[in-house]
Amino acid sequence: MIAKAPRGTKDVLPYESYKWHYVEDNIREITRLFGYKEIRTPTFEHTELFERGVGETTDVVQKEMYTFDDKGGRSITLKPEGTAGAVRAYIEGGLHSMAQPIKMYYLTPVFRYEKPQTGRLREHHQFGIEVFGAPEASVDAEIIILAMTLFSRLNIKGLELRINSIGCPACRPRYHTVLKEYLAGHLDEMCSNCKQRFERNPLRSLDCKEENCKRIALNAPVILDYLCDECKQHFDELQQYLKAADIPYKVDPMIVRGLDYYTKTVFEIIFSEDESELTVCGGGRYDGLVKLCGGPDTPGAGFGMGLERLIMVLEKRKAMIPESDNLKVMFITKGDKARRKAFQLLDSLRREGIPADMDHLDRSMRAQFKYADKTGVPCVCILGEDEIENKQVKIRDMATGQESAISMERLIPYLKDNLK
* Same-domain pairing of 304 and 155: yes
3-state secondary structure 194-216: HHHHHHHCHHHHHHCCCHHHHHH
**How buried is 87 (Cβ within 10 angstroms: 0-12 exposed, 13-18 middle, 19+ buried)?**
buried
Q: What is the pLDDT of residues 194-218, one digit of tens each?
A: 888 877 788 888 878 888 888 988 8
> Model pTM?
0.89
- Give the per-residue pLDDT at 323: 79
Hey, which residues does 303 pair with through a beta bridge? 129, 283
> Is 206 a member of any domain?
no
**CATH code for position 347:** 3.40.50.800
* Same-domain pairing of 276 and 137: yes
* Same-domain pairing of 240 and 130: yes
Provide the residue range defining the domain that includes 364: 329-418
Q: Identify the segments of the chain with pLDDT beneath 70.
A: 55-63, 116-119, 258-260, 325
- Give the per-residue pLDDT at 3: 85
8 A C-beta contact, residue 126 and residue 110: yes
> Is 199 a member of any domain?
no
Q: What is the pLDDT of residues 262-283, one digit of tens each?
A: 899 999 999 987 777 889 999 9
Show which of 255, 288, 316 is a domain's final residue. 316
User: Where on the phi/psi map is residue 391: left (φ > 0), alpha (ψ -120 to 50), or beta?
Assistant: left
> Is 310 a member of any domain?
yes
> Is 358 a member of any domain?
yes
> Is 247 a member of any domain?
yes
> Is 220 a member of any domain?
no
Round to whole Å and give the CA distance between 405 and 387: 9
Crossing angle of the two packed helices 229-244 and 137-153, in degrees rounded to 10 = 30
**CATH code for position 233:** 3.30.930.10
For 95, 103, 201, 297, 410, the CA distances from 15, given in Å and listed in that order, are 40, 34, 46, 47, 33
Task: Give how many domains the chain has, as a whole number.
Answer: 2
* Same-domain pairing of 58 and 142: yes
Q: What is the pLDDT of residues 113-160, one digit of tens each?
A: 877 666 678 999 999 999 999 999 999 999 999 999 999 999 998 899
Round to whole Å and give the CA distance between 230 and 223: 14
Q: Rounded to a whole number, what is the largest CA-CA distance in the chain? A: 94
Within 10 angstroms of residue 321's Cβ, the number of other Cβ atoms is 18
- Give the per-residue pLDDT at 54: 73
* b/e map 236-253, b = 16+ CB within 10 Å: eebeebbeeeebebeebb
Within 10 angstroms of residue 277's Cβ, the number of other Cβ atoms is 12
> Is 176 a member of any domain?
no
Hey, which residues does 333 pair with through a beta bridge? 383
- Give the per-residue pLDDT at 118: 62
- Give the per-residue pLDDT at 214: 87
Round to whole Å and give the CA distance between 140 and 157: 22
> Is 186 a member of any domain?
no
